[in-house]
Chain A
């Protein structure tokens, strides 16, 4: 299936990525080639086959509801690009 520049722009928006025009054209080719390969799956008959999300059938993993100490706040904040008053600092989100 061919991928258009418009498709690339739509998917980029969903993925929170931006590209220059030249890169978008590059993506139409390289993504198109991979999707063309993946489309070989159309040959496979999966009528009545259940999907496997996970190799092992593990469901509903619980633990005892016992409280444990949390990680130290300063340690959590040590990698923050910006912080203030013991919080992560980010641009204003609500007008």
Chain B
């Protein structure tokens, strides 16, 4: 087996068994990056100097016989909307093209405290607005399974980096599917935790009532391990929830016997490819064979989730992105007449097309005369969507759906039609609207491209999702397949 094909927990075992040092593991990541990054373009910034220091600090601590956290010494990647003290954080935008944060996001701090080795910051759709990572101001990330195709988005860089073996795990952020959809497109496990589970302090805000940070891993155990390291209350995020720390790997292997699974018919309708439907329903059968009970259910308001999403997310973004005015940080236009013109010129040149489109849509929804028809209406339909999930969870342990309507699409295929691009989030947005946790797990392949299955859970019941996903993964073995990208960093172990 090649080193870069190891999961994070396997790499961690090799470190603890002293078969590998963290310096060797980190060098292996950079060799792999050197070999494939030209084709994948997952990173905006590489942080080799700091990473090698973090790695050798781990190796020295090991030599001293210290008891170290599970993630210590393992190379990982952060999406470029999470602040890193002293390291460029661009959010995929020209607006923040020169922004070097003076502080760490809470997740960055927690990872550093866990001894993580940060190899770089990953590419993303500008301000996390997009479903393909084609909207970055800097580069287009490619899908390691087929470099003619998108890796999904907006956390496409974080997904591609792990799928290509450039990092052992990564963090993304998910506002309407931005972790789960790229996880589906790149054959990874990706989790959006319950809203409030992971601190958003230092995450560049897109839509604050929907945004949540979560992990990408090559298997469920990796995701569970990372969840344990990044979850917890943070007084710097007033929406963070005060709950005791959890070990998400505990109970993960307890099986699904007797679990009740709801299959909502609305997620298998028009617009979802037949192959994807068939594969997810095969997944349901596998669960039944392991002793779970699957039943068809109905979530009738879910079909309105995408409309609600494009009202709430754009409204919140138009408000959040008002801070980019060229006064205190980020880009400032070179020529302007007075302060107001400075705002206008800065914002018009600093933001890309999709970001401006969403600011415009959000400003429209919130503007005088339209507030009740759009924003307030959206909030009310959100109540209906949330209630339907809560009702379903009175009877079912989790809900099973496709993650995305299709496999990864071609680069350029949807970039001219915003509405068609938005449709690729149709199965994932209802989850953010309701605030519940969900994960995507690979469930099969169509023409060599991964297909993802989504498991949606009760508030703060990530543990059940991880347990059910682990059972599926062990029974199907789909997660053991890796994208084939030859060349470099090919050391065997």
Contact = CB atoms under 8 A, between A and B. Distances in A.
B391 interface: no
A31 B327 contact: no
A90 B360 contact: no
A85 to B, nearest CB: 15
A30 B418 contact: yes
B359 A49 contact: no
A41 B308 contact: yes
A84 B98 CA distance: 19
Interface string A64-95: 00000001100110111110000010111100
A49 B332 contact: no
Contacts of B63: none
Contacts of B306: 37
B385 to A, nearest CB: 9
Given A31-B361, A34-B361, A49-B384, A41 B339 contact: no
Contacts of B445: none
Interface residues of B, number: 67
Contact of A91 (B339, B359, B436): B339
A33 B102 CA distance: 41
Q: Give the dominant DSSP class at A's interface.
A: loop
Contact of B418 (A33, A53, A56, A80): A33
Interface string B301-314: 10010111011000
A73 B363 CA distance: 34
B376 A51 contact: yes
B392 interface: no
B307 A52 contact: no
Contacts of B332: 81-82
B378 A15 contact: no
Contacts of B338: 91-92
Interface string B273-310: 00000000000000000000000000001001011101
Contacts of B363: 11, 14-15
Contacts of A12: 360
Interface string B325-369: 111111110001011101111011001000011011101100100
A41 to B, nearest CB: 5
Contact of A76 (B102, B343, B422): B102
A34 B348 contact: no
B484 interface: no
A21 interface: no
A41 B377 contact: yes
Given A40-B307, A44-B384, A81-B332, A56 B195 contact: yes
A37 B318 CA distance: 19
Q: Which of A17, A72, A82 has the most CB of B within 10 A?
A: A17
Nearest to B365: A38
B329 A46 contact: no
A53 B376 CA distance: 9
B238 A17 contact: no
B130 interface: no
B102 A51 contact: no
A37 B235 CA distance: 39
Contacts of B147: none
20 contacts: A14-B363, A15-B318, A17-B351, A33-B418, A35-B364, A40-B304, A41-B311, A41-B381, A46-B377, A46-B384, A49-B383, A51-B376, A51-B383, A52-B379, A56-B195, A56-B196, A61-B239, A79-B99, A80-B328, A90-B342
Interface of B: 98-100, 102-103, 195-196, 209, 235, 238-239, 241, 301, 304, 306-308, 310-311, 318, 322, 325-332, 336, 338-340, 342-345, 347-348, 351, 356-357, 359-361, 363-364, 367, 374, 376-384, 386, 418-419, 422, 433-436, 459
